[in-house]
A and B are shown apart, each in its own frame.
Chain A
């Protein structure tokens, strides 16, 4: 009992993660707490048992005899087959639920959801999965234009998404905002508004990682990839390339700035080079 309580306490109270700055980060942190609690219970339990055995059953000076000739105990063995099985089953189901809430089970998008009308409903409500699936069934995606998806946050984002084109190349990320024809070395987004990254790699595999968003997605040459997320906390966070991509891999970093809404509008207007200005927060196109 004390063991379980200790484990739970550790899992709940030891803070190991950076701030949670996207909509799926708090969900991630819930899973982390559960895994950390279970892990602590198991680890402390087994560690304690081992330490106890080593001390209690150590061979004392002058002892030369053997231990008891116990060769096994089927009931015990079944019991400890069951423990990990149950734990793993529970963890599996729970993490499936978490994954689903992060939008991970939304089927990969097809070209229509990328460019067409399916975009808006995707971001609008919890029925995103169904909508996209329908559009997939209606028009089979052309293989050449297949879009690969990371964790989609279709189900947990609200409002129309801000599209940003991301190009990853040795050794930088480039961000292009089609709505304002802005090109930037930093990613600027607005708190509370979903962002849809359309990512492509020029040369080798890179990965887009923002630790504070708990999100990572490989960007593989030849595979346009979609990643959606919703920032919920204003601030600047590092964007890190997480896949070995060459000598300067460690220097392939950028920053994502999450603005308050009015701040973002200012930034956007300042950099907007498109002839027709579209305020992204009220945008109805996608």
Chain B
């Protein structure tokens, strides 16, 4: 019998609990090493170098440009800023509403990153909550290909990009990145259906692996877990929604 990931007694609980908004957290950022104070607790972060973005006039602008590694929302003075992972510079192709990635990544080239970014955003679009692009899913995936992926995965993930392009050509007579948004959406939607209806084909297998990783990265991202509390301070097992919300707003039991 396979052990379930939540096998009681033996496994680590990965359940994320909800907390107050990021506005409750005061950060002091130091370049290279960050000292972050959360209420009464002090947590030291050692990190690489960052690009620091600030929201001005409703647009994200880079205020420092350094080597970048980690994504974290911080307050600099009173301004909410985002310290971000390797974000790839993009240009919006207004004709087909496609974010074209302008630079090669560490593993994928620019054209592959463009396709993957689009596919990930189709899978998990921005709604009133962040989407895959906001959560930097593809930049993170690009990094994981070097630090996590084995030979087989490297081959599969590269190959699925080519397969999606082939599919685009055979369906619409054009490479994926040139298709109109509606066609791209339909293509991925159909691929998703087929991948779970006919699990045996190579295309299905590769697609399902890509999808699983996109979802894993998204749902472990800070953007997808605004309510996560690192240090809950205690456990309560029988709360009303209102009681839960009050504790979450406080950010600590």
The reply to whether chain A is a binding partner of chain B is no
Task: Give the interface of A toward B (CB within 8 A).
Answer: none
**Which residues of B are at the interface with A, using a C-beta cutoff of 8 A?**
none
